[in-house]
């Protein structure tokens, strides 16, 4: 129980930011490209309560934490409602709207990484804040990589659907009703993490290190 409390304390803020800004980014992009559905429903918001799903965001992660002794965690937020038919160029704009969420996570990972350096440069001795910043980087890299997996309804699946020729896009989109079960099966078999998430997270981490390299020079 003490481990759970410590884990929740460290990850609570990073996870809330990661989920909230991911979903808000989808809503903002949809509005930008012509669909006001999410905006009219109040989902273009930085209020976490607008995006939290009691079952997927809270209950499932807690149950999995105890069931697997913290070895496996999975959860999801309340999806932002998007009517792709309302977009100015539905097939093309679907890719940009879908990409907005992972892009927001990548940006947040960058900001949390900068926070790590800022804490070190500022001489902050409290380990809790450093652990939280590291959790922020990890959480957002996980969300970035996972959501880019190319199976609908994940963002990566929608992006791939947008890029495929119409004939193949239509056939591929028919996977969506079964996509959640396919993804869950691949998660449980550790296929997604080993063959997709780990390489994508590693690549994204290298890009983050490259971007923040000038900051590291301050330590020398």
Which residues are known to be catalytic? 23
d(C-alpha 25, C-alpha 44), whole Å: 8
Q: Measuring CA to CA, which residue among 111, 132, 97, 96 is closest to residue 13?
A: 132
> Which tokens belong to 122?
């500022």
Degrees (nearest 5) of the Cα angle 58, 208, 122? 85
Q: Which residues have a Cβ under 8 Å from the Cβ of 172 and sit 6 or more positions away?
A: 152, 157, 160, 161, 164
61 close to 16: Cβ distance less than 8 angstroms: no
Q: How far apart are the C-alpha atoms of 21 and 100, rounded to whole Å?
A: 10
d(CA 33, CA 130): 38
Longest C-alpha distance within the chain, in Å?
58
Nearest to 175 by CA among 164, 200, 190: 164
End-to-end CA distance of the chain: 41
């Amino acid at each position: 129980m003490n481990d759970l409390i410590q884990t929740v304390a460290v990850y609570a803020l990073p996870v809330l930011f990661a989920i909230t800004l991911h979903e808000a980014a989808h809503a903002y992009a949809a509005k930008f490209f012509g669909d006001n559905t999410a905006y009219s429903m109040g989902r273009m918001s930085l209020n976490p309560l607008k995006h939290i799903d009691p079952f997927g965001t809270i209950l499932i992660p807690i149950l999995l934490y105890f069931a697997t002794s913290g070895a496996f965690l999975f959860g999801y937020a309340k999806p932002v409602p998007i009517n792709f038919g309302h977009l100015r160029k539905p097939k093309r704009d679907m890719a940009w709207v879908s990409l907005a969420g992972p892009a927001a996570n990548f940006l947040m990972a960058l900001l949390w990484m900068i926070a790590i350096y800022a804490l070190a440069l500022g001489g902050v001795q409290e380990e809790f804040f450093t652990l939280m910043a590291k959790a922020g980087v990890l959480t957002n890299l996980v969300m970035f990589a996972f959501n880019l997996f190319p199976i609908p309804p994940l963002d990566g699946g929608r992006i791939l659907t947008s890029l495929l020729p119409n004939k193949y896009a239509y056939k591929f989109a028919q996977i969506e009703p079964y996509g959640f079960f396919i993804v869950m099966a691949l998660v449980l078999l550790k296929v997604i993490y080993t063959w997709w998430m780990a390489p994508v997270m590693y690549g994204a981490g290298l890009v983050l290190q490259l971007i923040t390299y000038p900051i590291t020079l301050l330590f020398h």
